[in-house]
Amino acid sequence: MQEKHQQEKLKTELLTVSMGPQHPATHGVLRVEIKTDSEIVALAIPHIGYLHRCMEKHAENLDYRSIIPFTDRLDYLAAMNMELTYVLAIEKMLKTEVPVRAEYIRVIVSELQRIASHLLFFGTYAIDLGAFSPFLYVFQDREFILRIFEELSGARLLYNYIWIGGVWNDITDDQIKRIGTFCNTLDESLKKYHTLVGENKIFISRTGHVGIINKDMAMDFGATGPILRAAGVNWDLRKTRPYSIYPKLTFDVPVGVGEKGTVGDCWDRYHVRVREMDESIKIIRQCLAGIEAGPILGKVPKIIKVPKGEVYMSTECARGELGYHLVSDGGKKPYRLKVKSSCLTHVSMLPAVAPGLMIADLVATIGSIDIVLGEIDR
């Protein structure tokens, strides 16, 4: 009896483990302070700021065109999407008419960028969970997209391609033909990749019923993109608040259904992205079929002075909703430019998602959220 009483008085302290800022599973310079009780996570606190570059303050001292390369450096894995949102905000205030051909090219490169970003997620997420081969396969497909971008813009990562009023360089008939062939090839490859990874018993056991972000949690935190849709919410800005030529295009919005576990788990977040690539292929094919000859740059003054006022523009990017709140005083530079980052919202959910997970499952959860720290720290 006395021994039992002594055991009840025994207390254990939580162990503090620091994951990052240099750690492959954190996908960038993120430090996660983990409080653990043995292998079970009691608390996970994200520490950000390691990549802070004062982008928003820099924008106040640059003319409107010069800001475009800085937007590339937010989510540098989806730079075309970063450029498009910013340019749409400027065009909205200038009331610029963008040529139809340029609109089609913008959507083509934006959806190719979404595919490239999701392919990178696919490969790195497999590595997070111990599978290396898928990384090699998807990077072969991603390489084609980067080469097309290099032909169009001269760069493979940071493009400065989508300009105010249109795009910098026209797409050729040969490139259109090659993109069409690529879509046919990728369509078949994605089915094989999903069978290799998504239907793998070990992968399912590591991701099903793990890291659940349900509808209520996603809505409370303001989650967007694949995180929100994996929770079962049908919300995609290309459908709900359409921009560019998206109203003309037909595509579906994949949502999580708990096929291999619980709605909103890691497997659902993985699968939503895989299905989004299928839908991006569908969009690209429609654009390739509908694009017509014409100019690629509208009438824009050499010196841009945005009328006094403010605007908020948001688009559906690879990781969720990206928004720019632009305030102009009528000069050649923005008075204020504020960026709304989906990744910042998603990383802030870790303290709510992590408790109760094993450390290994926390790695799987962070990987499934797919954050890019360049967009968070700015």
pLDDT digits (tens, 9 = 90+) for 170-218: 999 999 999 999 999 999 999 999 999 989 999 999 999 999 999 999 9
Q: Whose CA is closest to 113, among 125, 102, 121?
A: 121
Whether residue 314 has pLDDT greater than 90: yes
User: Which superfamily, per CATH, for 12-377?
Assistant: Cytochrome-c3 Hydrogenase, chain B (1.10.645.10)
In the block, tokens 């003319």 appear at 63
CB of 179 within 8 A of CB of 148? yes
Closest CA relative to residue 337, chosen from 51, 47, 66: 66
Task: Give per-residue pLDDT as tens, 361-371.
Answer: 998 998 899 88
Q: What is the 3-state secondary structure (H, E, C) of 126-167?
A: HHHCCCCHHHHHHHHHHHHHHHHHHHHHCCCCCCCCEECCEE
Specify the residue for token string 């690629």.
Answer: 296
- What's the pLDDT score for residue 89? 93
Give residue-wise pLDDT tens across range 321-372. 999 999 999 899 999 999 999 999 999 999 999 999 998 899 899 889 988 8
Q: Which pLDDT score, from 0 to 100, does residue 24 have?
A: 62
**pLDDT tens-digit series, residues 118-142:** 999 999 889 888 888 888 999 999 9
Q: Phi and psi for 371 in degrees, rounded to 5?
A: -100, 150
Residue carrying structure tokens 């993985």: 270
State the DSSP string of 11-23: --PPEEEEE-SS-
Q: What is the pLDDT, as a whole number, of residue 280?
A: 95
| Rounded Cα gap, residues 302 and 65, in angstroms | 10
For residue 358, the 8-state DSSP code is: B
Answer whether residue 242 shows pLDDT above 90.
Answer: yes
pLDDT of 7 reads 56
pLDDT at 9 over 80: no
Decide: 300 and 90 in contact? Cβ < 8 Å: no
Whether the per-residue pLDDT at 13 is higher than 90: the answer is no
The strand order across the sheet containing 336-340 reads 309-317, 320-328, 336-340
In angstroms, the CA 319 to CA 367 distance is 12
- The band of 241, judged by pLDDT with boundaries at 50, 70 and 90, is very high
Kindly state the helix (H) or strand (E) to which residue 181 belongs, with its residue range.
helix 173-196
Per-residue confidence band for 107, with pLDDT thresholds at 50, 70 and 90: very high
To which residue do tokens 């990744």 refer? 343
The percent helix, strand, coil of the chain (3-state, each to 5) is: 50, 15, 35
For the ranges 6-10, 30-34, 117-121, 204-208, which has the lowest average pLDDT? 6-10
pLDDT, tens digit (0-9, with 9 covering 90-100), for 260-277:
889 999 999 999 999 999
CA gyration radius for the chain?
Answer: 22
pLDDT for 377: 84
Which pLDDT score is estimated for 301? Answer: 86
